[in-house]
Structure 1
Amino acid sequence: MDKAEFDSFADEYRALHARNIAASGENPEFFAEYKIRDIAGHLERVGAHARQLLDFGAGVGNSVPWVRKHMPDASLTCVDVSEKSLQVASDRFPGLANYVPFDGERLPFTDDSFDLAFAMCVFHHIPFSEHVRLLQELARTLRHDGALVIYEHNPLNPLTVKAVNDCEFDVNAKLITARQLRQTCLDAGFRRVEIRYRIFFPHALAALRRFEKYLIGVPFGAQYAIYAYRQ
């Protein structure tokens, strides 16, 4: 999906997203929050302090309030090729992040600017041929002890595949396996890359989600996370 396509969906993104995930029994806020909560929990477990965060492909800002909730001391920069989406994000959450347009080529930040960058279900919208270059750009903006976290839809999960196939703004999307994306991160120069599978149970079975921490190596979750480290 290019800038024009993202712009065209900016105003109706949440409604379209909600409709396409209805089978899960959850709303878009659930999926936006769990990712940020995961990252905050990881940072706490390893004793890391991420003060400067980059939301790559931030869209209409769905992650913004959850960063403020779970990482209140962090400074957040949202970047996207869709200026219209960033305007929607700024209108929704004024003053809670820095909203910066991106030309799709070079991120407008100096080297070593961020402690952590994340991309929430962004890379399946980007042609595979561009992945290594963009991952190298993200690595450039990270500090040497920084990390990149990428969440993506899992093409090994049939319900996920159906939801993506039925979604208007995913019409040109190409799902990526976790192993493929892990290798691409290594090709881009990241030294260590981990895979964690996520979301195994729908809302009706939410009581079982406390066991998901034991399933992160099972490749059938609805989504997965890639944790990529510069060193």
Structure 2
Amino acid sequence: MIMVDETSTSISERLPESVPVEFDDYANEYEEALQTGLQVSGEHPEYFARRRIEWTHALLDSRDIEINTVLDFGCGVGIAAPLLNEILNPQCIWGFDPSTAAIARARQDRPGSPNQFVDCADELPSAEFDLVYTNGVFHHIPPRERATAFATIWRTLRPGGWFAFWENNPWNPGTRLVMNRIPFDRDAITISPYEANHLLRRSGFNPVRTDAWFLFPHRLRALRPLEWLVHRIPFGAQYLVLAQKPLTLEGQ
């Protein structure tokens, strides 16, 4: 297992390089570009965002885990913030994204919001968050730089904190179809559920469970109740690996 140095802050200096500059170009058209890809599903992006956060909340609630502080890692223009506030009801939410243009828009769209949005990972507090939530971020980070991103997340989580790692599922045939329709997703390098579990373990996290959702498009929505029978099998278009940062480090 590769353990992470809790006191290291220099790891974040390279983080902005991990996300293509093209995200700055889509800061004002992000939702439109995303909807272009998701049209084939027949759903609006908010449908997927709400389902992801509701399921994350359900898993945490089933363990009687209280979430007071949340980091939305790779928050983009901040479109998940209202749902994180509504569903998780934390005391504090931070959003981080290395795209300066995206963070500028997140701040502009939510003036007076108690949420904090930053574009520099060095500004994120250490051992502060009960939950780090990330969705569709790591397939944009070059494989050689993913360990740096995991280390930043590790640093910001309190001991015993939780990491909700949502990603697009390359094992679902519809995933690449959708991604090919989204300009900033076409060349992304996807991560399989198996690889995600492996990367999390190498970074020191303890994966607790893996769930996959969004198996049926809108036109087959009558079949969606069946997802409850197979969501532990990674067939859905997106999957969640719920992982925990240990309360104590090995050797302590």
TM-score category, normalised to shorter length: over 0.9
Matched residue, 1:40:
57
**Contact 1:59–1:86, Cα closer than 8 Å, also in 2:** yes
2:187 pairs with 1:172: yes
Which of 1 and 2 has higher RCO (CA within 8 Å, sep 6+)? 2
Deviation at 1:92, TM superposition (A): 2.2
Residue of 144, 149, 153 corresponding to 2:168 = 153
Encode CA deviations 1:18-74: one digit per residue, 9 max, x unaligned. 111101110111112111111111221111001000000000112111112112243
Q: Secondary structure at 1:47's aligned position in 2?
A: coil
Encode CA deviations 1:122-148: one digit per residue, 9 max, x unaligned. 000001111122112211211111011
Query: 1 CA distance for matches of 2:90 and 2:208?
Result: 26
**Contact 1:200–1:212, Cα closer than 8 Å, also in 2:** yes
Matched residue, 2:118:
100
Query: 2 CA distance for matches of 1:74 and 1:156?
Result: 37
**Contact 2:20–2:140, Cα closer than 8 Å, also in 1:** no
Percent pairwise identity: 32
CA-atom RMSD in angstroms: 1.6
Residue of 141, 162, 167 corresponding to 1:126 = 141
Matched residue, 1:182:
197
Deviation at 1:191, TM superposition (A): 2.6
Residue of 12, 23, 26 corresponding to 1:9 = 26
The alignment of Structure 1 onto Structure 2 pairs a total of residues equal to: 228
Q: Secondary structure at 2:21's aligned position in 1?
A: helix
**Contact 1:64–1:96, Cα closer than 8 Å, also in 2:** no
Long gaps (5+) in structure 2: 1-17, 247-252
Shift >3 Å, 4+ stretches:
none
The alignment's TM-score, normalised by the length of structure 2, stands at 0.85
2:199 pairs with 1:199: no
Deviation at 1:193, TM superposition (A): 4.2
Q: Secondary structure at 1:99's aligned position in 2?
A: strand
Deviation larger for 211-220 or 5-14: 211-220
Deviation at 1:96, TM superposition (A): 4.6
Q: Secondary structure at 2:89's aligned position in 1?
A: coil
* Code of the aligned partner of 2:159: H
The alignment's TM-score, normalised by the length of structure 1, stands at 0.93
